[in-house]
Structure 1
């Protein structure tokens, strides 16, 4: 597929959810031919991402703060703090599922209504949960973290042709000190290696946004810059 093979939609500008002083605009992949894993994988290499079944990429009039990042799985080496985190949380148990379970919703609701009560997704609803996290475009993997009998985290992940895409992670607010977001990324990297996929796509790094400036800590990684993936080492 090449850029001449498809048409894109473009939204009107609207206030940015991450940088309040900026205006946001999106390119939308509206063609039905995008609704399959091969096309979605190619679009991810071009800096797109999905929310539900809508595939989009920032196309803002005066800002390029959103930077696509993907971890180089084969070369990844955890930092000392990441190694300590893995050791500290080694008692947690991981399970994997290929379906979005209704049983996840209470954890999702608690996470949104506690951790993101100041955000655009508050208050949580079941319909929002389904629309946001379910997907018909690609195979999905739901990485569950359990503390004994309690589900404490779910990492929603898409399986692409060349990697995994970290879509969203929600967790029990009482476990904030366990850094379950970081733990989920480290587990996704490990699963990529186990199934021989070269990349973990982390979405958009936004340096000036506290909630979105954590994705550049997994070295080495590649950053999409002027349509080229450039390697960043420590």
Structure 2
């Protein structure tokens, strides 16, 4: 990252969305321009981004948010994943640079209101700040059933990896398991681009919202600033906790 000066700040985001107690706090900074190399290095330190905000969890007494990445070159789909893949072969996927469109915003609003039961209406400004603005090269993947938009995925395309940013889908199509299908599609896309890693954000073992990420194997988890095979992580984590 050279000599670029970064000004960090702490954010206090209210109750944790992944566990029943505790607050959600981050160490963050704002940037409108990051090199692929710089953001790749930040991913390897456990950072993620939301819009122009790059952040890392710093929740008091909690280390449950663990960065996870999938080895795309050796990934093997499970029987259930193969079934989901074949079930959705009728869909058309279009790649576009990150940008605003009314159809995408309407799907985002429906997803937040119905799937996440968001209490207040989302605004276009919220949508832009959260998903459309990006300091790196970001693609939006539009999933269509003929002319009907069913889902959108956001991915950051970096020098050595892809980073899966966010995914929304029509709640009426939950039976398609579009979240699973989108990750399978992104893995195949990474292979096509000859990128060996797909970064999935944070894995939270006891959270139904986040634990599904461990279904994509082989995967690695970030432990003490080093990537370790998923199956070894529990042993290392247990030993670490026992010694502290």
Q: TM-score by structure 2 length? A: 0.87
1:60-139 map, 5 Å: 60-102=59-101, 103-118=103-118, 122-139=120-137
Structure 1 counterpart SS, 2:56: strand
Q: How many residues align?
A: 231
- Worse overlay, 209-218 or 184-193: 209-218
Is residue 28 of structure 1 aligned with residue 28 of structure 2?
yes
Q: Deviations over 1:39-81 (max 9, x none)?
A: 1111011100001100000112200000100000101010111
Contact 1:107 1:170 in 2 (8 A): yes
> What corresponds to 2:201 in structure 1?
203
Contact 2:32 2:52 in 1 (8 A): no
Determine the C-alpha separation between the residues in 1 that align with 2:190 and 2:24.
Answer: 32
Distance 1:18 1:123, change over 3 A: farther
Q: TM-score by structure 1 length? A: 0.90
1:111 positional shift: 0.9
> What corresponds to 1:218 in structure 2?
216
> What corresponds to 2:236 in structure 1?
none
1:136 positional shift: 3.4
Is residue 166 of structure 1 aligned with residue 164 of structure 2?
yes
Distance 1:140 1:12, change over 3 A: closer
Structure 1 counterpart SS, 2:213: coil
Determine the C-alpha separation between the residues in 1 that align with 2:206 and 2:229.
Answer: 21
1:133-152 map, 5 Å: 133-152=131-150
> What corresponds to 1:9 in structure 2?
9
Determine the C-alpha separation between the residues in 2 that align with 1:199 and 1:82.
Answer: 19
Structure 2 counterpart SS, 1:100: coil
Contact 1:33 1:39 in 2 (8 A): no
Q: Deviations over 1:58-116 (max 9, x none)?
A: 11220000010000010101011101111111111111111323131111111111111
Consecutive unaligned residues in structure 2, runs of 5 or more: 233-244
Determine the C-alpha separation between the residues in 1 that align with 2:177 and 2:34.
Answer: 34
